[in-house]
C-alpha cells in the first residue's frame, strides 16, 4: 500500500482508537522537553504534537508531520491559526543539504489602495480596533496553498491524508483548557457581534467551561471536503466564494456593538494567489549558518542583522548585564533598519544584501555605547552605501513603532532521515477579524492590519503601505541553524513584532551565553524594538532590571513574550524537542522513541 493511503487509513489522535465511537479521550499530558530518536515534534498543543508524532511513527517525513500538526492547530488553536490565514514554511532537505522556504503570506485584494485604512472624512487613519474587526482587514489566505505546495514538493503523502487526523480531532473534540477559555473570554465582546462566531465559540452565550469538550463539526466537514476536492475548491471554487461573500458582507449579529466594514476581496484575488518558493536569508554567526525568511517577512533580515551586530561588537561570553545590554541595543538598531527598508520585495526595493552585510553590521554596531542605552527611536543606517568604516547614523528616526497582532502559532518537526521544518502560521490578532465563515468552522484573518495605515514619518518613503496584491510586512521568524552543513537548531515563536526579539534572544542564549536549549527557551524575556521602552517579563531578576536602568534602559512590564517551539540535534543521533514550560499554558514536545 502507498504511504499516502496508509497514512490516510491509519492516522488517529492518540488515545482515540481505544475510545468508544464519539467519545473524547482525556487531554494528553504536556511536557516541555523530550529527548530521543526517530524524529521530533514541538508545538503549543499536545493534541497537535501527538498527531505529528503519529505521522512520523507511520513512515511520514517532517513535511507530512508539519502539515498534519498545523491542521490540528487549526482545530485546537483556532484563534491563532487556520485555513483562513497564512504563514512562512522553512524546510531543510537532508538529501540535498539545502534550506528552502515558502512564503504563504496573505495578499491584499486588487481593489486595495494606499489609503484603504484612512477615514475619507478626515484623511486620518481609522482606529486600529476598527481595522481589526472588519472585512477590510481580510487578506487572501495562503495557508491551504502552503500546505498543498509543501506536500507536493517535499512530502510523501497528499493533502487528504494529512488533513484526516485533524478532521477526526475536530469531530471528536478536545478538552478545553484554561488558555482556550481565557482567549475566548478576552474576545467574547467581539465574537458575539458575528452570528456564526458566537454560535461556534460562545455556546449558550458564554465561553466554554474548562474541562468541557469542544467540538467543531463544521471544520471537520470543511477539512474533509478540502481533502477530497483539493485546494482549487478554496481558490477557484465554492469554498472561495463563501470566503469572499463572508468578508464582503460580514454576518453581523442583531444588536452588534461594532460596525464591521465590508471587505475588498474578490474571487479573482483568490484565483491569482500564489505561494512563493524563494531563497532563505542566510548569515554566518560564529561558525553557524543561520537561515530564515526573506521579505515579505522581516524576520530573517532583522534577526540576521542583529546577530551580525552582536558578532562584531559583543564577545561570545559576557556577564549577564553586559550581554543583555548588547542584545537590546543590537535589536534596537536592527529594528530601525527594518522599519525603514523592509516590505514586500515585489513592490519595494529591499536592500537585503546590505542589511545582512558584515560591513553594515560594523557600522551599526559601533554606535553601541557599552555603558549607556541609546534613546529611541534611533535613526536607520544606510545599507546601500559602501562600507566606509564610519560610525554615524543617517536618516530620520521613525516617529512611531508599527502595531502588530500578537497571536500566531509555531511548530517544528524533524524526521529520522534528518529533514527539518520550522513553520510559523497565523490569522494575526487573537481571533483574527472575529469573522467566522458560516458553516465552515474557521475564522478569517485580519492580516492586512500589518500594513502601516499611514506613513510612519511624513515625507519619508514607507515600504509597508497597502497596495493591490501586496503582502504586508511580517515579523514571523521561522529559523533553521546548521552546524557544519547539518541541522543543529530549529526555532520560532508567535508574538507579533516580539517574535523577532524572542528568536534572537533564544539564539543568543543558546549560542553565546552557555544555556541549553530548554534553558534558553524558559529564560525570562526582554524585547527592545526601537521603542521608547524595553518590555520585560516578570521573571527578569530585580538586580538585572536595576543594572539596566542604571545604563539608561527604560523598562515596561509585559506579562508574556512569545511562545517558542524548538528542537536541537544532539550527539549520538538524538533529537531534543523543546516547548514552553509555562507561557501560553505551556507547550508540548515529543519524540518518536524517547531515550527513557
> Rg of the chain's alpha carbons, rounded to an integer?
23
**What gap in Å lies between CA 174 and CA 212, rounded to an integer?**
8
**What gap in Å lies between CA 176 and CA 213, rounded to an integer?**
6
Strand partners, 536: 526, 557
The values of phi and psi at residue 91, to 5°, are: -135, 130
Strand partners, 93: 98
| Angstrom distances, CA of residue 169 to CA of 165, 174, 204, 428, 429 | 6, 7, 22, 23, 24
Contact 416, 593 (CB under 8 A): no
Element (H, E) at 544: helix 542-550
Cell of 354: 546590505
Cell of 47: 493534541
Contact 564, 579 (CB under 8 A): yes
Cell of 502: 524572542
pLDDT for residue 12: 28
Stated pTM of the model: 0.94
Tell me which DSSP letter residue 36 carries: E
The values of phi and psi at residue 284, to 5°, are: -100, 120
pLDDT for residue 104: 98
pLDDT for residue 374: 96
SS3 282: strand
Options 12, 302, 408, 479, the catalytic residue: 408
Whether 246 sits among the annotated catalytic residues: the reply is no
pLDDT for residue 367: 94
Q: What b-and-e string marks burial along 527-551, b requiring 16 or more CB atoms within 10 Å of the CB?
A: bbbbbeebbbbeebeeebeebbeeb
**What gap in Å lies between CA 83 and CA 288, rounded to an integer?**
34
Location of C-alpha cell 531534543: 576
**What gap in Å lies between CA 136 and CA 138, rounded to an integer?**
6
The values of phi and psi at residue 569, to 5°, are: -90, 125
Say if residue 332 is exposed, middle or buried (CB neighbours under 10 Å; 0-12, 13-18, 19+): buried
**What gap in Å lies between CA 9 and CA 3, rounded to an integer?**
10
**What gap in Å lies between CA 133 and CA 409, rounded to an integer?**
20
| Angstrom distances, CA of residue 388 to CA of 329, 362, 368, 369, 539 | 22, 10, 17, 20, 42
pLDDT for residue 404: 61
**What gap in Å lies between CA 150 and CA 588, rounded to an integer?**
23
pLDDT for residue 23: 61
The values of phi and psi at residue 224, to 5°, are: -60, -45
**What gap in Å lies between CA 547 and CA 281, rounded to an integer?**
35
**What gap in Å lies between CA 448 and CA 106, rounded to an integer?**
8
Contact 588, 30 (CB under 8 A): yes
Say if residue 6 is exposed, middle or buried (CB neighbours under 10 Å; 0-12, 13-18, 19+): middle
**What gap in Å lies between CA 376 and CA 335, rounded to an integer?**
11
Contact 331, 529 (CB under 8 A): yes
pLDDT for residue 456: 83
Strand bridging mode 409-415 / 420-426: antiparallel
**What gap in Å lies between CA 445 and CA 431, rounded to an integer?**
8
Contact 372, 328 (CB under 8 A): no
Location of C-alpha cell 493591490: 468
Ordered per-residue pLDDT tens for the chain, 596 residues: 233 433 332 332 222 333 344 566 676 789 999 999 999 999 999 999 999 999 999 999 999 999 999 999 999 999 999 999 999 999 999 999 999 999 999 999 999 999 999 999 999 999 999 999 999 999 999 999 999 999 999 999 999 999 999 999 999 999 999 999 999 999 999 999 999 999 999 999 999 999 999 999 999 999 999 999 999 999 999 999 999 999 999 999 999 999 999 999 999 999 999 999 999 999 999 999 999 999 999 999 999 999 999 999 977 778 999 999 999 999 999 999 999 999 999 999 999 999 999 999 999 999 999 999 999 999 999 999 888 777 765 566 665 555 665 579 999 999 999 999 999 999 999 999 999 999 999 999 999 999 999 998 888 889 999 999 999 999 999 999 999 999 999 999 999 999 999 999 999 999 999 999 999 999 999 999 999 999 999 999 999 999 999 999 999 999 999 999 999 999 999 999 999 999 999 999 999 999 97
For 173: left if phi > 0, alpha if psi spans -120 to 50, otherwise beta; the answer is: left
Residues 6+ apart with CB under 8 A from 520: 505, 506, 507, 509, 510, 513
Amino acid at each position: 500500500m502507498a504511504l499516502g493511503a496508509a497514512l490516510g487509513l491509519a492516522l488517529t489522535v492518540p488515545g482515540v482508537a481505544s475510545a468508544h465511537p464519539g467519545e473524547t479521550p482525556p487531554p494528553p499530558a504536556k511536557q516541555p522537553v523530550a529527548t530521543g530518536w526517530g524524529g521530533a515534534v514541538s508545538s503549543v498543543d499536545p493534541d497537535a504534537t501527538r498527531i505529528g508524532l503519529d505521522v512520523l511513527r507511520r513512515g511520514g517525513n517532517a513535511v507530512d508531520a508539519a502539515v498534519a500538526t498545523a491542521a490540528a492547530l487549526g482545530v485546537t488553536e483556532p484563534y491563532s491559526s487556520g485555513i483562513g490565514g497564512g504563514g512562512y514554511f522553512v524546510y531543510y532537505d537532508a538529501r540535498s543539504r539545502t534550506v528552502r522556504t515558502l512564503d504563504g503570506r496573505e495578499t491584499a485584494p486588487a481593489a486595495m489602495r494606499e489609503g484603504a485604512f484612512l477615514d475619507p472624512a478626515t484623511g486620518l487613519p481609522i482606529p486600529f480596533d476598527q481595522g481589526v474587526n472588519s472585512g477590510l482587514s481580510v487578506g487572501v489566505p495562503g495557508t491551504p496553498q502552503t500546505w498543498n505546495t509543501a506536500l507536493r514538493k517535499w512530502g510523501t503523502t497528499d493533502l487528504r491524508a494529512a488533513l484526516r487526523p485533524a478532521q477526526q480531532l475536530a469531530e471528536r473534540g478536545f478538552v478545553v483548557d484554561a488558555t482556550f477559555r481565557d482567549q475566548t473570554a478576552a474576545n467574547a465582546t467581539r465574537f458575539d457581534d458575528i452570528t456564526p462566531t458566537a454560535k461556534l465559540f460562545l455556546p449558550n452565550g458564554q465561553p466554554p467551561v474548562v474541562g468541557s469538550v469542544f467540538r467543531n463539526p463544521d471544520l471537520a466537514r470543511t477539512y474533509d471536503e478540502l481533502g477530497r476536492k483539493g485546494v482549487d475548491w478554496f481558490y477557484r471554487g465554492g469554498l472561495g466564494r463563501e470566503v469572499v461573500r463572508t468578508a464582503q458582507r460580514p454576518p453581523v449579529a442583531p444588536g452588534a456593538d461594532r460596525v464591521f466594514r465590508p471587505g475588498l476581496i474578490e474571487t479573482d484575488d483568490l484565483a491569482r494567489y500564489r505561494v512563493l518558493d524563494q531563497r532563505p536569508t542566510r548569515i554566518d554567526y560564529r561558525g553557524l549558518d543561520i537561515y530564515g525568511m526573506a521579505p515579505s517577512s522581516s524576520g530573517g533580515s532583522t534577526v540576521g542583522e542583529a546577530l551580525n551586530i552582536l558578532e562584531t561588537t559583543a564577545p561570545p561570553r559576557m556577564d549577564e548585564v553586559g550581554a543583555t545590554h548588547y542584545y537590546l541595543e543590537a535589536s534596537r538598531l536592527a529594528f530601525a533598519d527594518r522599519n525603514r527598508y523592509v516590505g514586500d520585495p515585489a513592490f519595494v526595493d529591499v536592500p537585503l544584501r546590505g542589511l545582512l552585510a558584515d560591513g553594515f553590521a560594523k557600522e551599526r554596531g559601533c554606535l553601541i555605547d557599552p555603558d549607556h542605552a541609546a534613546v529611541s527611536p534611533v535613526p536607520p543606517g544606510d545599507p546601500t552605501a559602501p562600507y566606509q568604516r564610519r560610525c554615524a547614523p543617517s536618516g530620520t528616526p521613525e516617529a512611531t513603532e508599527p502595531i502588530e497582532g500578537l497571536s500566531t502559532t509555531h511548530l517544528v518537526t524533524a524526521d529520522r532521515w534528518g529533514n527539518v521544518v520550522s513553520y510559523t502560521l497565523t490569522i494575526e490578532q487573537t481571533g483574527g477579524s472575529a469573522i467566522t465563515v458560516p458553516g465552515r468552522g474557521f475564522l478569517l484573518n485580519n492580516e492586512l492590519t500589518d500594513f502601516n495605515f499611514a506613513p510612519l514619518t511624513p515625507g519619508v518613503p514607507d515600504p509597508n503601505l497597502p497596495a493591490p496584491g501586496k503582502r504586508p510586512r511580517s515579523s514571523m521568524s521561522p529559523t533553521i541553524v546548521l552546524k557544519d552543513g547539518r541541522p543543529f537548531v530549529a526555532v520560532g515563536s508567535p508574538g507579533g513584532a516580539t517574535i523577532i526579539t524572542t528568536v534572537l534572544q533564544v539564539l543568543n542564549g543558546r549560542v553565546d551565553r552557555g544555556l541549553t536549549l530548554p534553558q534558553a527557551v524558559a529564560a525570562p524575556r526582554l524585547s527592545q524594538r526601537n521603542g521608547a521602552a524595553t518590555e520585560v517579563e516578570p521573571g527578569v531578576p530585580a538586580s538585572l532590571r536595576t543594572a539596566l536602568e542604571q545604563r539608561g534602559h527604560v523598562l515596561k512590564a509585559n506579562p508574556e513574550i512569545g511562545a517558542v517551539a524548538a528542537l536541537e540535534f544532539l550527539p549520538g543521533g538524538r533529537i531534543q524537542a523543546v516547548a514552553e514550560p509555562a507561557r501560553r499554558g505551556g507547550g508540548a514536545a515529543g519524540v518518536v522513541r524517547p531515550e527513557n
